[in-house]
Every structure is written in C-alpha cells, then in structure tokens.
Structure 1
Amino acid sequence: MTARAVFKLAAPEGVVVPLAAVRTDGGQDYVFVVKNGTVERRPVVLGLKNEEQVMVLKGLQDGEQVAVTNVGVLQDGMAVTVE
C-alpha cells in the first residue's frame, strides 16, 4: 500500500530578533526598543524560537531597533548610545 498526502502550512508573520534581546518579568515577555537615544520597554508576543533567535508575533514592527546588549540593566526611558 502507498499513500500520498499534501500539507499546506502557513508560516506565522513576525519580526525575528536575537533571543538575548528578550526578557521576561511576571510571565510577560518584553524587549527594549531604541528611539531617539532612549529605550522603551515594549511587551511582545513570541512565536517560534531556536537557541539564538526568536520570532516576535506582536508588539514590534519591522525596522524598529531593539537593544541586544546590557538588556538586563536597562530600564524604561533610560538614555542609551547606539554603536
């Protein structure tokens, strides 16, 4: 016996960021978006991930900059320098 099957899979749409950019507080995932020399804490909804990257399904727009270093010490509204 043989069988043939066709699967149609829909890939979720989102923005891929380094896993190091994502923090969790009280069960809520968030990133720090860099705008005009300061950071804004932004709640996000995550999708697929691997050891290095994660897909952000909601809360982040394509093209926005996220902090990826020193994320553990950042606070909402803190001034930052982009290198």
Structure 2
Amino acid sequence: MIVIEREVAVAAPLERVFDYLSDFTSTEEWDPGTVRTSLVSGNGGVGTTFLRKPFDHLGEEAEEGLRNALGKLAA
C-alpha cells in the first residue's frame, strides 16, 4: 500500500480543512501533480468514485480512479 503524508500549518478550523481535502474535486488546487479530477459516481461521501487525471513521470496526462474511503472526521 502506498502512503503519502504531507504536513502544512493553516489558520483554519480542522473540520473545514478536512472537508476541503476530502472533496477530491478540489485536488488540482492543492496537488501539483493533478491536472483534473471529476466525479464519476456518488455524492461525495464514502464510496464516491472520482476520475483523476495526473501528470505521469514524463509530464504527460495519465488517468487513475479514486474512491473516497474517508468517513467523518474522528474527534
């Protein structure tokens, strides 16, 4: 399993940050390797499927599917 971790300090409530990062339609705003992400099925909750167009290692567009496995923010 691939694990990617990043740490950034922001002046925003944790719930707002979690909601923003778990909405994969915003990935091109915060992930420089993403060209475009679009909703395939679902309502954004757990089990929602997205199609992500990243750059591959040669700088060309590639394609991969993402499934939202995130639930609610744990307290």
Mark yes or no: TM-score above 0.5: no
Q: Provide the TM-score with structure 1 as the length reference.
A: 0.22
Query: Whose helix fraction is larger, Structure 1's or Structure 2's?
Result: 2
Query: Whose strand fraction is larger, Structure 1's or Structure 2's?
Result: 1
- Structure with the bigger RCO (C-alpha within 8 Å, sep 6+) is 1
Larger Rg: 1
Q: Provide the TM-score with structure 2 as the length reference.
A: 0.23
